[in-house]
Amino acid sequence: MLIPPGIMVSRTMSSFSEWMLPTIEGMVGIFHSHPNSSSRPSAQDKRLFSQKGGINIIAGYPFELKNVSAYIGSGKEVPFKVVD
């Protein structure tokens, strides 16, 4: 797991510069959370997904499984399964 430097966080939002995300060989995707219950990607999320590819997981508050969604690079939601 990589936590990009320069993250800005407040009670209602968080953000980081996508320029701070390195290209890592073998990277399988990006996980991030939303401070509200939505696990739907924003327009910025979709743009990042298309640039980085892989599997992109978003967890919405309160971060229960029902508030977690996975998307591929095109922005299409895909099913996922949690395993031990």
- Could you tell me the smallest distance in angstroms from the CB atom of residue 70 to Zn ion? 13
Backbone angle region of 10, left / alpha / beta, with phi > 0 → left and psi within -120 to 50 → alpha: beta
Q: Which is nearer to Zn ion, 14 or 66 (CB)?
A: 14
Apex 51 CA angle, 32 and 67, nearest 5? 25
Report, in Å, the least distance between residue 58 CB and Zn ion: 6
Does 77 interact with Zn ion (rule: CB under 5 A)? no
Based on CB atoms, which residue is closest to Zn ion, 43 or 83?
Answer: 43
**Member of 4, 21, 45, 77 binding Zn ion (CB under 5 A):** 45
Number of C-alpha atoms within 13 angstroms, CB side, residue 55? 10
Binding site for Zn ion (CB under 5 A): 42, 45
